[in-house]
């Protein structure tokens, strides 16, 4: 019975993507902006796209989300933004890497949206000691991810999975507010539109432009 229910749930999730955009994802998110050296960001941005930069830096960051409802069901996602590129008269974000703990969400990101999506595991704990492990991919872009020592903080360790092998990528430490029971993330409400480029990958060689309308806390 459990296997049949899981298969039925999988069919419903796939059907959610087949309905076409706009796709709605509901959950909690943390969006952190960070200055990234332009010389570093260029390694992740197609050559024909020009970086928005000043004094040798562009604006990158990370978007960490925990969705409880989406076309792929419940899953976690980390989007690492390498920088901003010109799209006259405005600009668009460029994702260097997308990590999700859902095979279906990864497939959709690669095949339909042209994102550099990878399947990963998200291990979460509550702690009050700074993490000592290297932050791997985030460190490449110069993005720090360890919060000052405090009592209420969620530690998230993210590892990429390929077949039977697992490789540690980064560790993120986030402050919490309220009791451990509710596990609420600290931060102001966010409502914005984030225009982005994607594509030029093996699965989707064309350049795509899409917009994420974000409304979260």
- Per the CB < 8 A criterion, the answer to whether 133 and 127 are in contact is no
pTM score of the predicted model = 0.77
All domains of the chain in start order, with CATH: 2-216 (2.40.400)
Instruction: Give 205's contacts (C-beta < 8 A, 6+ positions apart).
Output: 199
SS3 197: strand
Task: At 186, list the tokens.
Answer: 């600290």
Is residue 83 pLDDT above 90, yes or no? yes
Question: Which pLDDT band, with edges at 50, 70 and 90, does 161 fall under?
Answer: confident
Q: Give pLDDT tens digits for 164-209.
A: 778 888 888 776 655 444 555 556 666 777 788 898 888 888 888 8
Query: Concatenated DSSP letters for 95-137?
Result: EEEEEES-HHHHHHHHHTS---EEEEEEEEEE-SS---S--HH
């Amino acid at each position: 019975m459990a296997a049949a229910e899981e298969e039925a749930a999988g069919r419903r999730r796939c059907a959610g993507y087949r309905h076409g955009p706009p796709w709605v994802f509901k959950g909690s998110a943390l969006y952190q902006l960070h200055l990234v050296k332009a010389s570093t960001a260029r390694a992740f941005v197609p050559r024909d796209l020009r970086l928005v930069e000043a004094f040798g830096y562009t604006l990158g960051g990370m978007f960490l989300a925990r969705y409880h409802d989406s076309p792929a069901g419940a899953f976690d996602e980390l989007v690492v933004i390498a920088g901003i590129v010109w799209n006259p008269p405005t600009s668009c974000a460029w994702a260097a890497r997308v990590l999700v703990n859902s095979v279906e969400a990864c497939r959709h990101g690669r095949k339909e949206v042209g994102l550099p999506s990878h399947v990963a595991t998200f291990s979460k704990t509550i702690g009050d000691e700074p993490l000592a492990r290297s932050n791997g991919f985030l460190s490449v872009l110069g993005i720090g991810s360890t919060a000052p020592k405090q009592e209420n903080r969620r530690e998230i360790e993210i590892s990429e999975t390929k077949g039977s092998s697992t490789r540690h990528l980064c560790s993120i430490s986030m402050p919490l507010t309220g009791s451990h029971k509710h596990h609420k993330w600290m931060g102001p409400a966010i409502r914005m539109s984030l225009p982005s480029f994607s594509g030029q990958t093996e699965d989707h060689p064309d350049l795509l432009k899409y917009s994420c309308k974000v409304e979260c806390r």
